[in-house]
Structure 1
Amino acid sequence: MATESAGFDLIANLPALQVALPLVAAPVCMFLKPKGLAWLFALLVSAATFAVSCLLLQQVMELGVVSYAMGGWAPPVGIEYRVDKVNAFVLLIVSMISLIALPYARVASAREIPLDKHNLFYTAWLLCLTGMLGIAITGDAFNIFVFLEISSLSTYVLIASGRDPRALTASFNYLVLGTLGATFILIGVGLLYIMTGTLNIADLAVRVPPIADQPPVLAAAGFLTVGIALKCGLFPAHFWLPNGYAYSPSLVAVFLSATATKVSVYVMMRFQFTVFGDVTVGENFDFANLLLPFAVIAFLVGSASAIFQQDMKRMLAWSSVAQIGYMITGIGLGSVEGVTAGIVHLFNHALMKAALFMAVGAVFLRAGGVRLVRFEGLGRRMPLTMFAFVLAGLSLIGVPLTVGFVSKWYLVQAALAQGPVGYFLTALILASSLMAVIYVWRVVEVAYFRDPDPEAPREEAPLMMLVPMYLLVGGCFWFGIDSEFTVGIAREAALQLMGLAP
């Protein structure tokens, strides 16, 4: 379905509104200095972007691909916003997490963000939201780079905005690696433009296959893969991620862990299958297959490293390295089943990891820290918070009736379909899940089987932190029991991404 930007029709202009709403709202938010006003404004904007993403997903599911020509200039000459089932799903994830996380942020920001910086903090939040939504919705390769820089620059600010001085170092490390990744992406886009004369992704999908064996195209695929791997934190380009999550404010860790890496994984999928689907390295060896060894190492190293962490935010950060490995494993398998598993895990991991970081942030609010020793006796001191942590932890492990089980079930099925190599891969996936049992159990054992400090206060987290936390936990079980919605969209998106469906 094609739409033009002439005139103003709300439904016809939904793709533009998806990005324009938070982009225009960001500078306005900067001037909202009265207490709580910037937060309320950001919440309303996030609600509006979520509504737009829901409407776009509905349009795509009912009518097919939505093509929106910016300024009335038809693609590939003009810039195109192109929405299909793949990125409509990603838009829903990003806007949903922002909306759910902001009520939680209202309480957490009072403790972790200096009061005089709240307006600047929520300005950066809206810019980060703009960047991630723009990355997902644009149909222009260069615009992916532009929106990637908008989200990255605001992310550096978000990470460094807390009171922990170590956050400045973490932000700087991410800036260095993020700039390197962005440079690689820009070089890759430039090589594609030189070889094809276009930046439109749909047009690239037509022009790249006839020249897929040319060295500049192979170089472009390499530069883009490495650059995106740096952005999504895939091993061995993951060094920024543990410190970035561990030392940033809790509400920032909630938002970024559930969205930023997911958007980067989406970009990886988009380029690997839409643009480089016919690019091979050697005989009958797809370029995407090169990702598989790194993905396997990622979920093994990430899970093993999480076991030895004493800082719980750092533990969850290493767990995210492992979960990114699962997503990329699906891409690396190169099958419809594998890509379906990777796409559905984008949604499932967003739910469970955001819930876990919310629980840890609530502990920080009441206990004053997130090291493992601070969790002693919390099962009795903060029963609702710890129960939410345990439930989300079960999903992280992959216990049946949770979204984590759904993701691993489809990933294992995709692996088994590969024959003998798949059997070995399945064993490694199960081994990583057993390691998840160990690091989640460490927290459970300390919280429920050790006595609390008799002088420590017994105070539960505020309601505004508990409600979003349990909303996400409820989603972990709701979509684990009835996965028809998420798996159905993921499978249709995988077929469309791989060119097997219109």
Structure 2
Amino acid sequence: MIASQLPVLLVVLPLMTAPLCVLLGGRRLSYLLALTVSSCTFAISLALMASVLQSGPIHYDIGNWEPPYGIEYVVDYLSGFVALFVSGIGAVVLAYAPRTVAKEIPASKLTMFYASYLLCLTGLLGMCITGDLFNVFVFLEISSLSSYAMISLGRSRRAPLAALRYLILGTVGATFFLIGIGLVYQMTGTLNMADIASRLPTVGGPRTILVAFAFMTIGLCVKMAVFPVHSWLPNAYTYAPTAVTAFIAATSTKVSVYLFIRLVYGIFTPEFAFDLLPLDAELTMLALVGIFAASTTAIYQTDVKRLLAYSSIAQIGYMLLGISMGTQAGLTAGIVHMFNHALIKGGLFMVVGCFALRLGSVQIHDWRGAGKTMPWTSLAWALGGLGLIGVPVTVGFVSKWLLLTTAVETGRWPVAVLMLLSSLLAVVYIWRVVETLYFAEPSPQARRAKEAPLSMLIPTYGMIAATLLFGVWTTYSAGLAGRAAAALLGAAP
């Protein structure tokens, strides 16, 4: 009986317990509740993914109202895969969080932080598994509003301003997305995504379909932080508490990329987006320009969080490259890069939190010589950086290799060459930090520093170890991504 309710429990459990974090009052009780719930959602995601692999996609009708009249939750290869790593990262970051949030968030706001964290997790998981288009918008707003709240909790006076900027641009993106949903509903009379796909006249249909697709695409591009509509992201990542940045950077934009894949491959079709419209060429251009512009900007940053923020904008470009190729191999590469980048960037931001706790700064010049006094934290940065560059036996190599080989096989030699050149830019900004840690004269902060506490190092190394594990054992990551791509393109998974 309980097993049949797992899809709805994935959303209801964090949603219903979030207010309890505030009502409990005590910071420790709130944390223990949030950690227990996030761990349970991860266990539920594991069970759902195992069931999908064994028996195929799971369909759950809310209130026993059959779609398209009722809301349907769907857990298939793609949604289950994304929900699994989102919930897993959510649990790991929360296990890591107590020491860093105690330093970066006022004590009076900690219960509010844990409540907002669970609400954000609710929204992200809801977007993954809902089969109703309007429900996607509802969960998008739940995750966005809670993200704004968490970002504003930072001690810096710039944190509320960064949250406000994110709110304004995020609201613009959500409004565009909602207008597109309204136009789709006008044309089809339904909000169920599978039903919309069967009714939508994408070939020879009215201009309203094109307008709806344009509005939804622009809205999701803002949420994904695609260049040049990325301006909300650097400040949001820089001034948010480090645990918040680690969670949002690893999950939020990835779920938006997931929604974009659903839009192009699940609701509309690649034939509509890439044959009737030149979206593939446009995405390729935006992706390549974004990769080079953001990577170049990252090289000149003195704030490590801002450096990683611009790196994230560049990495979104790699995901778009895979999506724009319109083939099963390309889509597989884009999906697996979502997973790989979530692990890498979550781990690197957790490393930043360790340095910030002991050194009291995220400025590169304050990290000089910290490799001597914080060797384990410095090693974690070096290993995570190798993954970001795409060195073999790391997850970054797996997805970049898949993208590169697909570009070559489809005759996109210029794209392949530019991808190789862009990886050199990642070498530059990662090496800047490595050089500062190991080869510079120690700063006053580094001389006095102690190694980060085990309560932070263990979760951090868990994330970094995953970047190495899935760089060698690709059956799970690339295998599941391949099944998801095959199912979206109508091939046998």
Does residue 468 in structure 1 map to residue 459 in structure 2?
yes
Following superposition, the deviation at residue 179 of structure 1 comes to 0.3
| Paired position in structure 2 for 1:436 | 426
| Paired position in structure 2 for 1:343 | 335
| Paired position in structure 2 for 1:486 | 477
Does residue 78 in structure 1 map to residue 63 in structure 2?
no
After superposition, the C-alpha distances for 1:422-456 in whole angstroms (9 at most, x for unaligned) are 11001111111000000000001111111213673
Describe how 1:450-461 pairs up with structure 2 within 5 A: 450-453=440-443, 456-461=447-452
Separation of aligned partners in 2, 1:104 and 1:458: 19
The percentage of aligned residue pairs carrying the same residue is 49
1:394 corresponds to which of 375, 383, 386? 386
Equivalent residues of 1:212, 1:280 under 8 A apart: no
2:188 corresponds to which of 186, 193, 196? 196
Separation of aligned partners in 1, 2:484 and 2:458: 31
Equivalent residues of 2:237, 2:249 under 8 A apart: yes
After superposition, the C-alpha distances for 1:289-323 in whole angstroms (9 at most, x for unaligned) are 53221111111111111101000000000000011
Following superposition, the deviation at residue 287 of structure 1 comes to 3.9
Equivalent residues of 1:212, 1:278 under 8 A apart: no
| Paired position in structure 2 for 1:6 | none
Q: Output the amino acid matched with 2:171.
A: T
Equivalent residues of 1:76, 1:198 under 8 A apart: yes
Describe how 1:282-321 pairs up with structure 2 within 5 A: 285=277, 287-321=279-313
Three-state SS of the structure 1 residue aligned to 2:297 is: helix
Following superposition, the deviation at residue 413 of structure 1 comes to 1.2
Describe how 1:1-400 pairs up with structure 2 within 5 A: 9-209=1-201, 213-277=205-269, 280=272, 285=277, 287-400=279-392
Instruction: Count the aligned residue pairs.
Output: 492
Separation of aligned partners in 2, 1:282 and 1:160: 39
Separation of aligned partners in 1, 2:349 and 2:8: 32
After superposition, the C-alpha distances for 1:117-148 in whole angstroms (9 at most, x for unaligned) are 11111000000000000011100000000000
RMSD of aligned alpha carbons = 1.4
Separation of aligned partners in 1, 2:406 and 2:132: 31
- Structure 2 gaps of 5+ residues are none
Equivalent residues of 1:178, 1:230 under 8 A apart: yes
| Paired position in structure 2 for 1:498 | 489
Separation of aligned partners in 1, 2:153 and 2:67: 40
Separation of aligned partners in 2, 1:253 and 1:481: 27
Does residue 425 in structure 1 map to residue 415 in structure 2?
yes
Distance 1:281 1:98, change over 3 A: closer
Q: Output the amino acid matched with 1:361.
A: G
Equivalent residues of 2:273, 2:280 under 8 A apart: no
Q: Output the amino acid matched with 1:251.
A: A
1:447 corresponds to which of 437, 453, 474? 437
Separation of aligned partners in 1, 2:192 and 2:68: 5
Following superposition, the deviation at residue 328 of structure 1 comes to 1.0
Separation of aligned partners in 1, 2:274 and 2:45: 41
- Structure 1 gaps of 5+ residues are 1-8
Three-state SS of the structure 1 residue aligned to 2:4 is: coil
Distance 1:210 1:358, change over 3 A: closer
Separation of aligned partners in 1, 2:23 and 2:285: 48
Q: Output the amino acid matched with 1:427.
A: V
Q: Output the amino acid matched with 1:122.
A: Y
Give the alignment's TM-score, normalised by structure 2.
0.98
Separation of aligned partners in 2, 1:117 and 1:449: 40
Equivalent residues of 1:342, 1:411 under 8 A apart: yes
Separation of aligned partners in 1, 2:4 and 2:273: 42
Q: Output the amino acid matched with 1:440.
A: I
Separation of aligned partners in 2, 1:53 and 1:134: 12
Q: 29-38 or 153-162, which moves further after superposition?
A: 29-38
